[in-house]
Chain A
Amino acid sequence: MGLTSDRVLRLVNVGKTFGRHRALADVSLAFVPGRVAAVLGPNGAGKSTLLGLLSTLSQPSQGRITLGDEELSRHSPLRATIGYVGHEPGVYGDLSARQNLRLFASLYGMASAERIDEMLARVGLDGVRREAAARTFSRGMLQRLALARALLHEPEILLFDEPGAALDPAGAAWLAGELQREREAGRLVVLVTHDLAAAAAIATHVVVLRRGRVARDEARASFSADEVRRIYEEATRGST
């Protein structure tokens, strides 16, 4: 499966309301393959809501989201082109690393055992006791397994929700390297994070949300940590 897709993930005037709360309003953005987009913003700015919409697991109240010319929706088969890594690993604690991957591979219609071994080796879980339940894993190991699960089916779009939140510095550095690698492979990466320094290290596109609206939307070849900090502070001034 080639990764030459150049489909742009586009949001047009997207809004999302939960009961009495408007989480997103009038969001228009374009995420491009081969870039790492870092979505920043204070708590409650709508970052996770945005990621939920991109993952097709929730539906916009207004506006539309498209990948290429296809609209993302609840029934859309496009969900098979998405890989999602959240703060929770999203795997079964009772199954071993290999069993988890085997289950999800079969749901994606892939039966290749080599692919599973390859993914386990890549995230550094091949040395792990084969039958140990994922529940016994450390936080860092779980996050590695979560990444392996999300990459298993060669997704076009990779979504990360605070992936480094519970990782030690070494784990976070490893994850940043993996992200970099996926970007270079031409995937479209969207990363929601609080960690400005981590965002600066890998992002080529910075989006700052403030109270559910896009306060800043900027793409460059690279950002320095100071630049990201300045952009963030300018965009969120007066809202805490």
Chain B
Amino acid sequence: MLSMMSSSRKSGAAFLVGLLLTMQGFFVVTFLVANAPLEKTMGAVQKIFYFHVPCAWLLMLSTFACAGGSLAYLFRGSERGDRLALSSAELGVLFGLCVMVTGPLWARAAWGVFWTWDVRLTSSLLLWLMLIAYGLARRYGGEGGRRLAAALALFAAADVPLVYLSVNVWRGLHPNTKTVSSLAPGMRWPFFLSLAIFSALWGVLLVLRMRVERTQARLVELAITVEDAEGRSP
């Protein structure tokens, strides 16, 4: 009991440090992004890039985390895996929403249209839809909903390369493949820091969300134990 408490206190402390660093990071990144050099043709509009790309990366990360958790749940009955899958799917939907808002904003400023069937934007859209479907399966899938959602996550992960390849070939040309490596040196630092800080935020939120689920599971266990005790005494 005691060791359990101290280990949970230790992980709590680590979590707090992570949280503070993440909050700190957002101040720093905002400052850095504000001071990063302006892009020649796009000007200030290009700064959405520091926000948009990390979100898209996290959408992808969420899909794989969801599939990993689902794998553990499906084949080893791991409840923790199931909590990881659910939490990362929810985060994926959230960050996917950011991608879907910032993408069209950029497209409007850059090309004058809200939507282009750009390879990465389209692939992100499909990933996003799969994670939304994961949520639907869990909520409305009835008795087998959790297992159905887990299977969906496996297919989604298997789909990622297929989606990317097919959309890529479908759209033919893709002019900005090497955006990141062609970044001006002054933009590189703020970008990678932003990427790191967003990932940290994702991690913090993931831990929080998984804790909510675990606490709920414990509550249910407690309620069952209480019911049991009441049931046994005549």
Binding site for B on A (CB under 8 A): 17, 19-22, 25, 59, 211, 213, 238-239
Contact = CB atoms under 8 A, between A and B. Distances in A.
A17 B234 CA distance: 22
A178 B220 CA distance: 44
B228 A20 contact: no
B234 A22 contact: no
B220 A25 contact: no
A20 B234 contact: no
Interface in B196-234: 220, 223-224, 227-228, 231-232, 234
Query: Taking chain B's interface residues, is the majority helix, strand, or loop, or is none over half, making it mixed?
Result: helix
A17 B223 CA distance: 12
Contact of A213 (B77, B220, B224, B232): B232
Contact of A238 (B220, B228, B234): B234
A59 B220 CA distance: 20
Chain B residues touching A, range? under 10
A22 B227 contact: yes
A85 B207 CA distance: 47
A22 B220 CA distance: 10
A20 B231 contact: no
16 contacts: A17-B224, A19-B220, A20-B220, A20-B223, A20-B224, A21-B224, A22-B224, A22-B227, A22-B228, A25-B228, A59-B77, A211-B231, A213-B231, A213-B232, A238-B234, A239-B231
A213 B227 CA distance: 13
Query: Taking chain A's interface residues, is the majority helix, strand, or loop, or is none over half, making it mixed?
Result: loop
Nearest to A26: B228
A21 B223 CA distance: 9
B233 to A, nearest CB: 11
Nearest to A61: B77
Contacts of B232: 213
Nearest to A211: B231
A17 B79 CA distance: 13
Contacts of A22: 224, 227-228
A19 B220 CA distance: 8
Contacts of A17: 224
B84 to A, nearest CB: 19
Q: Which of A17, A20, A238, A239 is packed against the most chain B CB atoms within 10 Å?
A: A20
Nearest to A20: B220
Nearest to B77: A59
Interface in B56-85: 77
Contacts of B231: 211, 213, 239
Contacts of A21: 224
A211 B224 CA distance: 12
Nearest to B227: A22
A59 B147 CA distance: 14
Contacts of A59: 77
Contacts of A238: 234
B57 to A, nearest CB: 35
A59 B77 CA distance: 10
Contacts of B234: 238
Contacts of B224: 17, 20-22
A21 B77 CA distance: 18
